[in-house]
Structure 1
Amino acid sequence: MAHTSAAPAPLSSPAVTKLPIRAILPWAAFFGLLMLVLLYFVGAEQGATSLLSGAGVHEWVHDGRHLLGFPCH
């Protein structure tokens, strides 16, 4: 009885599609702007720089403000 071993099939690399920078740039700019607005509301929406009257925004982001190290009182 002869033992023969078959050579394993070569692994094919997955097809990699490259995204053009023109497809990524608008989304990166959108999410960057969204993060800046979020950072403003968490970090600075209070007191003299307040865009909205009342303390509603402050109360909604109060714990996040402390978690990120922003003082608020």
Structure 2
Amino acid sequence: MSQLSAPHVQPIPLRNLAWWALAVPVLLLVAYLVTFDQGAISQAGDYLHELMHDGRHLLGVPCH
């Protein structure tokens, strides 16, 4: 009988993890601003408010 050996697993380089560590909080912040903002952050102008409003419709989040 032949012995089964576990495949050699390479560790993930830290430079690959650093990109995800920066990208995930940014994506979460954008998701928060688009889905839960309801006008508190987007008081800068009508363009930003409409952009957030359309993003809520695009994601299917109820806004009104």
Give the TM-score normalised by the residue count of structure 1. Answer: 0.56
Pairing partner for 2:53 from 52, 58, 61: 58
CA distance in 1, matches of 2:6, 2:26: 36
Q: Which consecutive residues of structure 2, in runs of 5 or more, have no partner in the other structure?
A: none
Query: Superposition RMSD on alpha carbons, in Å?
Result: 2.4
CA distance in 2, matches of 1:29, 1:16: 25
Shift of 1:56: 4.4
Give the TM-score normalised by the residue count of structure 2. Answer: 0.61
Paired positions, count: 59
CA distance in 2, matches of 1:14, 1:36: 38
- The percent identity for this pair of structures is 32
Q: Comparing both structures, which one devotes a greater share of its residues to helix?
A: 2
Q: Which consecutive residues of structure 1, in runs of 5 or more, have no partner in the other structure?
A: 1-6, 67-71
Q: Which one has the largest radius of gyration?
A: 1
Which structure exhibits the higher relative contact order, with contacts defined as CA atoms closer than 8 Å and separated by 6 or more residues? 2
